[in-house]
Amino acid sequence: MPLILLVVLLGVFRVKAHTAALASLFLSVVLAVVGWQMPVGQALSATAAGIFYGLFPILWILVNALRIYELTVATPWFEVLGRTIRSTWLWPASWRRTSSTRVWRPARSTACARPPARSTSARAPC
């Protein structure tokens, strides 16, 4: 039921994600207390534990990513990392940037320049 409520609120009614998530959380707690006669304290404790175990890994990754970023900026390794990312081995010469779309696209291969075969069999997409 809470998952169905979440999907309906997000997909059908276009409710903001945090509001839909809180409504699903509230429904989960009500179902636990009313439907399965779970004690209110235990339901709230389980809710707090779920929030902690959901947010802790995300915050752990975020804090460590920010720390690594600070270390690379404070040392000359940030420039080395930038040169490595911008080097030609990462962006092959066959890739070009189109000025009108501002999207990286691979150059068309010569196989797509030929006219399509007359057979009705499946052809390779260009």
Q: What's the rounded mean pLDDT across residues 17-31? A: 97
What does the pLDDT look like over 74-118, one tens digit per residue? Answer: 888 888 877 877 775 555 555 555 555 555 555 555 555 555 556
Q: Residue 122 pLDDT more than 90?
A: no
State the pLDDT at residue 86: 76
Query: DSSP string of 1-64?
Result: -HHHHHHHHHHTS---HHHHHHHHHHHHHHIIIIIS---HHHHHHHHHHHHHHHHHHHHHHHHH
> Under 8 Å CB-to-CB from 29, ≥6 apart: which residues?
43, 44, 47
- What are phi and psi for residue 43, nearest 5 degrees? -65, -45
Mean pLDDT of the chain: 81
pTM of the model: 0.54
